[in-house]
């Protein structure tokens, strides 16, 4: 399991300095069903705007 999760979306409420993600869980989905051929076929559903 990944120990450090990087995030470059600094307007996400889970973003920490050093491009680190502080979310308890990361939820990633595929556009193409249960498997993806590359990163462009996925989205991170954990994102929440930092308001």
- Work out how many domains the chain is built from and give that number: 1
pTM score of the predicted model: 0.73
DSSP the chain: --S--B---TTBTTEETTTEE--S---EEETTSS--SSGGGEEETT--B--
Q: What is the pLDDT of residue 4?
A: 87
Encode the chain (51 residues) as per-residue pLDDT tens digits: 777 899 999 999 999 999 999 999 999 999 998 999 998 999 988 988 987
How many residues appear in the chain?
Answer: 51
Residue 27 domain boundaries: 1-51
Q: What residue has token string 């600094």?
A: 10
CA–CA separation, 40 vs 37, rounded Å?
8
Compute how many other C-beta atoms are within 10 angstroms of the C-beta atom of residue 46: 17
């Amino acid at each position: 399991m990944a120990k450090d999760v990087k995030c470059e979306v600094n307007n996400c409420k889970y973003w920490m300095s050093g491009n680190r993600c502080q979310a308890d869980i990361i939820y990633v989905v595929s556009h193409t069903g249960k498997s993806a051929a590359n990163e462009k076929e996925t989205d991170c559903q954990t994102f929440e705007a930092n308001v």
